[in-house]
Structures are given as structure tokens and as C-alpha cells.
Amino acid sequence: MSFWKNKSVLVTGATGLVGSWLVHELLKQGSNVTALVLDNDPASQLFRSGDIDRISVVSGNLSSYHDVVRSMYTNECTEVFHLGAQTIVGTALLDPISTFESNVQGTWNVLEAVRQSKGLVKAVVVASSDKAYGSSGNLPYLEDHPLHGDGPYDVSKSCTDLIAQSYGNTYGLPVTVARCGNIYGGGDLNWSRIVPGTIRDLERKKQPVFRSDGTFIRDYVHVDDVISGYMKLAEVSQTKNLNGEGFNFSRDEPLSVTALYKHICQATVGSYVEPLILNTAKSEIKDQHLNSNKAKSVLGWSSSVSIGDGLAKTVAWYRNYLQSGSNV
């Protein structure tokens, strides 16, 4: 029987890329899912899949403590995946206040609600990011590297991470932190990102565009790997004392933007297409990648989705989406 059978689980950020697929997997394994949702988003995979009709939806805002408490306590949730956040670096640069309200205040609201639950919640996984580490010449990042984000988005993730650690270490809350690199997969409709944007352009026979100069190095991890990591973290944290600990989740195979782009071209059209290089990216860290040995040794987790397989699956999703009559 699945660990998740009949569990009452809260997911924040359920309309996002990871949240949508996490809800789907939890339902598949028999969980009763509650989602705190700010706005209806019919384009989200959560809606497109019909999973929205199979879960309990609480309408509210992460920046409202009352809304967070309501979402957690209504169905007596015992596991919490806190994924809700403003996730776009460019948006954070334009609107830092709402980014901090969502990413920072939202995190302390969730964790304070857990603290006040008096033991109801058995595991909390907080989604952080490799951006929390900030820029460093010492790569790959290890979990004990300092967190010192610079730009608004990076700082918001550093704060998210440190607040989670504080609640775990000070109050003994069963909270752990997951740090991933660039997550890709079907359902991401933020077209400014390289994977969905490039696939859409190639499918429409348009020249793809690079916001950077193509040399930036990143981890690229498929959403299926991320979900397996998050769920494994929530499970293991209930048998081991991991309060306040952070874990990196990575394929441990960093790629430049140009190298990833070549993989996308191969998966989509079977040959290389010359991109338009704008080199206009702002507030972006040049090189970032993670070491995931701790997740392997402590959790028994490792990536199972190769770049080739992950992109093939992703291209198939977008091809179906674009051919379904969407004019996005």
C-alpha cells in the first residue's frame, strides 16, 4: 500500500508546473488533497487534467495568515507541500514587493500555521531553489554552502529557506527544504523560459530566442524527478529527524543554455536551428549547479529521467497542447 493512501495533504502553488503534477501523483496514490488557490487558471495543468474537480479547493492568498490556516485546518491536513511562490526572476525584478509578500510572508504564514496546529502536521516540504545560494565561484553547491541571494527573487528564496530552517531548528517543526535547479516539463506556460519557449517557436517554425548569451550553466531537472524527490523527502522525514535540513535535487549533469538548446532542437525537429541571441537577461546568476549526494545517501533518491527522455516527454505534451487549438 502506498505511504500516501488516505493521507490528507495540503499543496500550495497547486496551479503551477510542479504543483499540478504533484497533485496528480498524490491523487494517483490515493491521497485526499487540499489546495490553496489564489486565482482560477484554466490553462493550468491542474484544470486541464480535470484534477481540480477531484480535490478540495480553498480560495485564498498566501499572504493572508487566515487563509493559510483555513486551508490547512479545514481538512486536518497532516502533510504540507509549500510550493506557492512568485517564480519568475524578471517579474520579481519589476515587482519586488509582491514577490516578498508571496515568497517570504507566505512561508512564515504556512510555518506558523503548522506550529499552531499542535502536532497535527507530520511533515512540511518547503520548495526553495538553487537561487537561494546566490552567486558563487565554488560549484557545485552543497547543502552547507551559505545562502546569500542578491536580486529580489534570489533574496526571496534565501529568506524562504532560512525561515524554514529557523522554524525547524527553533521549534522542532518537521520542516525540510528542497532546492532544485531549473525545472522543466509539460504544463509550464511561462513562455519566456527556454524549454517551453523554444519548443513553441520550433513547432511554429519561428526562430527561437535566447535572453542570455547562451553560455549560462544550469541544472535542468524534469518535473517527475522533482515530485519523486519532494514526496520521498516528506516520507523519510517522518522516520528520521531532518528538522530544518535542506536537500539538493539534481541530475548532477549541468548544461549550458546552448547545450540544452541543442537537445531541445533534436527532440523537437531533429536538427539544429540557429537561435536569435539577445543577451538581454538581467539579474541572472551566470553559473549554478547542485550536488545531490545528500539526497542519495539520506533519502535514497536519485534522478531517473534523462535529458533525452525528459525532453521527449515534454515535447509530446506541448505538441498536443499547441495542436489542441490553443492560441497562447
Residues acting as catalytic residues: 153
CB atoms inside a 10 Å sphere around CB 263 = 19
Number of residues written out for the chain? 328
